[in-house]
């Protein structure tokens, strides 16, 4: 079977783990993602994952609670580690070998980030989960995804969301919004569409890393993208 992408970086939001809950982690969602990831791993796809922490804590909300911004951002990074540990456990229960990597050193539970070691894990067929963002405040997990994708030379960033691509407006608020199958980085910026934060987005544009925004809750989508089906919206300058 021919694969369109051999090494991917999958970006998941923390909110994607909530399921129908208002916060926290829904075990059913963990299993849902683990089975999808295992299916493409079994085909030989090299998989890195960056997961957010918004289901537990959002650094940007910290100031309204009186917590200083930098402190709040570090708290958000620790939330991503909790999510990454949960996803690691779910993946290993399905028989997928994983490595949890943290941008903040915590030797008891995760490896420190070393580029060559992370790439070696991928080459050996292990799923690498990058946690703790970039390890620095003021950067989102979108930025962490763009940074790690560049460092490991990923073929594409797959951004799993609740909607099935990029629209002219928010489809949950505007029923007349139309979906793009493909769109350039330049046009996303000119239309003011919210795909990733601007730091992450320009990093991908400057380094020619395509982004596919797709509905991660549809079980067949991840496999379909790997096999070259037109799913979601491809952002690339052609």
Closest CA to 40 of 158, 134, 146, 119: 158
The domains of the chain, with CATH numbers, are: 7-235 (3.40.1160.10)
103 and 148 in contact (C-beta within 8 Å)? no
Top-confidence residue, 111 or 20: 111
pTM (two decimals): 0.94
Res 186: pLDDT: 94
DSSP codes of every residue in 144-167: HHHHHHHHTT-SEEEEEESSSSEE
Q: What percent of the chain has pLDDT over 90?
A: 83
Q: What is the largest CA-CA distance in the chain?
A: 54
Q: What percent of the chain has pLDDT over 70?
A: 96
Helices assigned H by DSSP within the chain: 27-41, 69-93, 115-123, 141-151, 185-191, 198-206, 221-226
Res 173: pLDDT: 86
24 and 55 in contact (C-beta within 8 Å)? yes
* pLDDT tens readout for residues 125-141: 999 999 999 999 999 99
| Alpha carbons 130 and 102: distance in angstroms, whole number | 6
Strands 179-180 and 166-167: antiparallel
* pLDDT tens readout for residues 157-195: 999 988 899 999 888 788 899 999 999 999 999 999 989
């Amino acid at each position: 079977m021919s694969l369109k992408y051999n090494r991917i970086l999958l970006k998941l939001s923390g909110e994607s783990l909530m399921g129908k809950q208002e916060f926290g982690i829904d075990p059913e969602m963990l299993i849902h993602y683990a089975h999808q990831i295992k299916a493409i791993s079994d085909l030989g796809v090299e998989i890195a994952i960056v997961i957010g922490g918004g289901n537990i804590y959002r650094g940007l909300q910290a100031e309204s609670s009186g917590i200083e911004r930098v402190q709040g951002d570090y708290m958000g990074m620790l939330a991503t580690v909790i999510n990454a540990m949960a996803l690691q456990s779910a993946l290993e229960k399905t028989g997928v070998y994983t490595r949890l990597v943290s941008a903040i050193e915590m030797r008891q539970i995760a490896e420190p980030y070393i580029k060559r070691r992370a790439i070696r894990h991928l080459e050996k067929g292990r799923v690498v989960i990058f946690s703790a963002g970039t390890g620095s405040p003021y950067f989102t997990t979108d930025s962490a995804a763009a940074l790690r994708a560049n460092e490991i030379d990923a073929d594409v960033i797959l951004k799993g969301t609740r909607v099935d691509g990029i629209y002219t407006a928010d489809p949950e608020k505007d029923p007349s919004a139309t979906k793009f199958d493909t769109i350039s980085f330049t046009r996303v910026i000119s239309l003011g569409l919210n795909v990733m934060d601007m730091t992450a987005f320009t990093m991908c544009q400057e380094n020619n890393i395509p982004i596919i925004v797709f509905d991660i809750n549809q079980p067949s989508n991840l496999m379909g993208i790997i096999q070259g089906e037109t799913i979601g919206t491809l952002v690339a300058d052609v």
